[in-house]
Amino acid sequence: MTDVPSKMNQEDRANWIAKRKKELVETVGDLEAIKEMEKEKLIQELYDARIVKTSRGLGDTVEKVIKKVTGKKSNTCGGCRKRRDALNKAFPYKKK
């Protein structure tokens, strides 16, 4: 079997594709899990950019209250983000 798929016969090409698919699954893992992780990452970026303004959980609500009380207008620090994410994960609001 040669290494160039375009110069392989049909059977060798099918075997090569099957082998590559198997290697991809072993290397990358479950593609559905990766899609879900990317979706969560995108949602987090939208919340961080304040494009999505609804609260996902207690952490977002606490963050809003702290900003109102302190009058803080700047971006949140790393510790603030960790607290917000931990509270959102522990106490999420139910999705409608």
pTM of the model: 0.46
Between CA 56 and CA 87 the distance in angstroms is 10
Looking at residue 75, its pLDDT comes to 64
Flag whether pLDDT at 4 surpasses 70: no
Residues in contact with 90: Cβ distance below 8 Å, sequence separation at least 6, in sequence order:
57, 58
> Looking at residue 60, what is its pLDDT?
85
What pLDDT is recorded for position 80?
84
pLDDT top residue among 88 and 34: 88
Residues 70-94 pLDDT 10s = 887 666 678 888 888 899 889 988 7
pLDDT in tens, 41-75: 887 777 666 666 678 889 888 888 888 888 876 66
What is the per-residue pLDDT for 1?
Answer: 43
